[in-house]
Chain A
Amino acid sequence: MYLNSNLINVLEREDQSIKMVAQKKTKKSIENINSRLALVMKSGKYVLGYKQTLKTLRHGKAKLVIIANNTPPLRKSEIEYYAMLAKTGVHHYNGNNIELGTACGKYFRVCTLSITDPGDSDIIRSMPGEQQGQPAV
């Protein structure tokens, strides 16, 4: 009995430390994706905007789709469905369309963007591990 409760305490402590690590990770991962996006803007190919991302998804050219957090839910689900059909990763950007536009280095708002060629960036390789809404095969 004594051992059991000790074990539970140890486990809870570990849980807390893991949670703290996770929190730290989310802060860093926002900066991570911003820097990676900047690299893609410089060296890779991308399309900005809802209509064009749908086009790239249909043609199978999209490697990663990034959606801002204030896109209307119908549009968000529609893009996720297309990405599921195309077996493309979707990243839910932690920020609204203004912030996503700034992250892309543009002076306008961007709700959806699609990366067709990552260039020097490793955004495709690293991001799909952390994203939510991973398409089910």
Chain B
Amino acid sequence: MLPQKLIDVLERNATDIEESDDETGEQEYAADTATSTMGKFMKSGKVVLLLSGRFAGRKAIIVKNYDEGTQDKQYGHALVAGIDRYPRKVTKAMGKKKRKDRSKMKSFMKVVNFNHMMPTRYSVDVNLDKASVNKDAFRDPGLKKKARREVKAKFEERYKTGKNRWFFQKLRF
């Protein structure tokens, strides 16, 4: 499990005013509370922090959530896609090739129990190709590699636009 002061870190990092993702998420919640229960917030597009395992401390996006669990996993879990190796910092003095190399990132996909995730108030709406990024990918290493490459491509594309800056920053703890 992550060491203490997790919430302080989250709040500290949350002073990034440029995050405009919140609004889309909150509009969803407004619609939810109007019709059904209180906000169920573990939905696709939500940014979560992984708390345990090899990717502890990494940020990930919920791709598909299974609130009630399934036959083989009888607990609430979600398929998440996240960043394994964050892109390195880029400064103005660097040339084009150096910037390109330092903006590369390694992605991962994992099926995680809800208990091992910390949800945040951020959300990233990147449409991952559901045909390749799904639970079936874990059967076959070839499929998994293909899915991971798709995630990596989409993430790098989003990183280049400069949106969702908080998601692509390593969480310091």
Contacts and interface: CB of A to CB of B under 8 A. Distances in A.
Interface in B16-49: 26, 29, 32-33, 36-42
Interface string B37-80: 11111100000000000000000000000010000000010000
A88 B6 contact: no
Interface in A46-76: 51, 54-55, 58-63, 74
B40 A62 contact: no
B138 interface: no
B41 A85 contact: yes
Interface residues of A, number: 20
A102 interface: no
A92 interface: no
A53 to B, nearest CB: 13
Contacts of B29: 87
Given A58-B42, A88-B38, A78 B67 contact: no
B67 A59 contact: yes
A86 B39 contact: yes
Contacts of B36: 60
A85 B6 contact: no
A54 B41 CA distance: 12
B33 A87 contact: yes
A81 B41 contact: no
Contacts of B10: 81
Nearest to B76: A58
A86 B38 contact: yes
Interface of B: 4-8, 10, 26, 29, 32-33, 36-42, 67, 76, 114-115, 118-119, 121
27 contacts: A51-B115, A54-B115, A55-B76, A58-B42, A59-B40, A59-B67, A60-B36, A60-B37, A60-B41, A61-B37, A61-B38, A62-B38, A63-B38, A74-B7, A77-B7, A78-B6, A78-B7, A81-B7, A84-B121, A85-B39, A85-B121, A86-B41, A87-B29, A87-B38, A87-B39, A88-B39, A137-B26
Given A61-B38, A137-B26, 5 more contacts: A74-B6, A84-B121, A86-B38, A86-B40, A88-B39
